[in-house]
Structure 1
Amino acid sequence: MHCIGVDVSKQELVTFDGTKERIFPNTRGLAEFDRFLKRLTDALVVFEPTSTYSRRLETLCRTQRISCCQLNPRVIPHLRLVGKGRSKTDSTDAELLYRYGIERGRQEAAQLENDELAESIQARLACYRVAQKSRVAYQNVFEALSHDPATSDVLLDEIRAEIGELKHKEKRQVDAAQKLVKEDPETKERLELLLSIPGVGPITALTLLALFRKYGNANRSQIVALSGFDPIRIQSGTSVHGKSRISKRGNREVRRRLYEATLSAARYNPGIRAIYRRLKEGGKPEKVARTAAARKLLSIAHAIYRSGEPFREPNQEET
């Protein structure tokens, strides 16, 4: 395995392969970096998604079928702490990413599928989130102003109309995403399978569908890691026994949707309900119980997506 740590910025890619640091221009097509990768066998690219700056690298990995490991930006500061207090000048981010790739990268790596449908679904959901966030903000303002006697009815009507328009925008984006799915019979069937899971609604199902299509070859543990639900252990001082928490390295939107879905799944999904109740009755905090339930829900959804079989309630609740 040839592991390459890549620190992505607007203008360049700083890379480290265990022996040498190299810099490549972050230009359209990444021609120079592509030529470099083609000289390697079994390459693994480890990088942090950085909004639009890393899109070219993601596209290159996807189109050239290069295995990659995408880390949450929170990981790098943690790696510096683990690295015995090294400062940013002692170890470049590219080197830290390389080290992580050598230690855990292959376990978490996945190949990005060149899937235009998944990209289109994610784009529609991104527009949906923008409209939803704006609607919630307007609703909060409306709630506050409606209790103020000095607020005019004209202003309240304007805000009410804006909220209504944003709701329409949300619906249009979801409808457009569902229309894309319905154009492909197999994908439509996969979406229906995900919707058969108690607690999984249309937005969560579309979010998971795009994730599973984008990482079509990923196994269960890789999907868990790509979603940031994999555990990491944090040590403090000289203590040998550290606390565990989820890494939060992966897709934040997947985690958010699954957290929301657990509220319903904990009531109507037997397996999720059993895990949630067991942890709560054992004295675990609400956040811990919901995280475990969300991770289990993700595993169930991935298994159903891969198997092609709809959700079936077990004969007895899981523990």
Structure 2
Amino acid sequence: MYCIGVDVSKQHLATYDGERQRTFPNTRDLKELAAFLKGKGNKVTVVFEPTSTYSRSLERLCRSRKLRCLRLNPRVLPHLREVVQGRSKTDRTDAELLWQYGQDHGPGDLLEEDRLGHILKVYLSCYAQAQKARIACQQLREALSHDPDTPAEILEELGREIGRLKAREEKMLVRAQTCIEKDKEAERTYALLLTIPGVGRVTATVLATLFRRYAGTNRGEIVALVGMDPLEYRSGSSVHKKSRISKRGDGFVRKVLYEATLAAARFNPAVREIYRRLKENGKPEKVTRIAAARKLLLIAHAMYRTGQPYRAPKASGG
């Protein structure tokens, strides 16, 4: 088995194959990497960490060449760094760590095409971009509206731009939902998620896409993919910093879940309970909402895996 670790970035692919490090341009067709791997036969294992759109070309290459892959969860690589640093003072690149993981856990699996999952991701990325631009535009208009010297036509133009961006948000969301309706499995998941109190069409669409793209994940893995896994800081036996979430995963999914807690903390008994308990213990609002968002994610993921609709938890006896 020929194993190669690939550290993916926007413009480059840094690789290591046990002998030397190489860098290839991260182009749409990955012509240089494809030519290099062609001479390695068909028993090739590619190890990488998915990075949204930047790893799509690599995934496509692996599918077309029928190369086996190990796609690492975002929480694995930081753990590997800690293990290596604890044993040696020498720095190892991420590509080397990925290669070592492949040596220990190969040969990996063949990737299956999930065109719907990727199309949904594209629509949601466009939705997120329009939403971000609309919020920025609203904030600018609000600030300028308090300045008496701001020309009226500027405020009018900003108002029209806000309306245009709102329409684009809705257009992208409708396109995503239309795709979901054409796929029985995706439609079933979407309908299932809508049974959760506090989950609306945006949250259901985002989670249905997430679960489809990362099918087979467990509780810990799905939490890490969203970047809600805790990070603890320790130095020796005496220095400890407050833990926080890693924020290494999909920031848009994390934002949608965070916003969904406003409704879920009111209408979802399980989410409301954890929100109430943390508030009573004096936790800050941001901490309580992150915990509530994590709970909401785990409820949705459990329902997706079991295929069972939402059931309110039984009230404890007094």
TM-score normalized with structure 1 length: 0.80
Measure the CA separation in 2 of the matches of 1:55 and 1:119: 9
Alpha-carbon contact 2:48-2:72 (below 8 Å) kept? yes
Q: Give the CA deviation at 1:294.
A: 1.5
Residue 272 (structure 1) aligned with residue 276 (structure 2): no
Map of 2:126 onto structure 1: 127
Q: Structure 1, residues 102-147: CA drift from partner, whole Å, max 9, x if none?
A: 99x99xx999652111111111111111211111121112112222
Which of residues 38, 47, 53 is equivalent to 1:45?
Answer: 47
Map of 1:55 onto structure 2: 56
Please give the secondary structure, in 2, of the residue aligned with 1:159: helix
Q: Structure 1, residues 203-225: CA drift from partner, whole Å, max 9, x if none?
A: 22111111111112222222122
Distance 1:288-1:145 versus aligned 2 partners, 3 A rule? closer
Measure the CA separation in 1 of the matches of 2:11 and 2:244: 34
Map of 2:92 onto structure 1: 91
Residue 66 (structure 1) aligned with residue 66 (structure 2): no
Alpha-carbon contact 1:110-1:218 (below 8 Å) kept? no
- Structure 2, unpaired ranges of 5+: none
Q: Give the CA deviation at 1:257.
A: 1.2
Amino acid of the structure 2 residue aligned with 1:47 = E
Pick which of 288-297 and 262-271 moved more: 288-297
- Identity, % of aligned positions: 50
Amino acid of the structure 1 residue aligned with 2:74 = L
RMSD: 3.7
- Structure 1, unpaired ranges of 5+: none
Alpha-carbon contact 1:113-1:214 (below 8 Å) kept? no
Distance 1:34-1:220 versus aligned 2 partners, 3 A rule? farther
Q: Give the CA deviation at 1:179.
A: 0.9
Map of 1:285 onto structure 2: 284
Residue 216 (structure 1) aligned with residue 219 (structure 2): no
Q: Which structure has more RCO (C-alpha within 8 Å, separation ≥ 6)?
A: 1
Please give the secondary structure, in 1, of the residue aligned with 2:72: strand
Distance 1:75-1:111 versus aligned 2 partners, 3 A rule? farther
Pick which of 171-180 and 290-299 moved more: 290-299
Distance 1:90-1:206 versus aligned 2 partners, 3 A rule? same
Measure the CA separation in 1 of the matches of 2:228 and 2:101: 17
Measure the CA separation in 2 of the matches of 1:286 and 1:7: 37
Q: Give the CA deviation at 1:83.
A: 2.2
Measure the CA separation in 2 of the matches of 1:253 and 1:69: 20
Distance 1:242-1:147 versus aligned 2 partners, 3 A rule? closer
Q: Give the CA deviation at 1:295.
A: 1.5
Alpha-carbon contact 1:228-1:251 (below 8 Å) kept? yes
The alignment of Structure 1 onto Structure 2 pairs a total of residues equal to 308
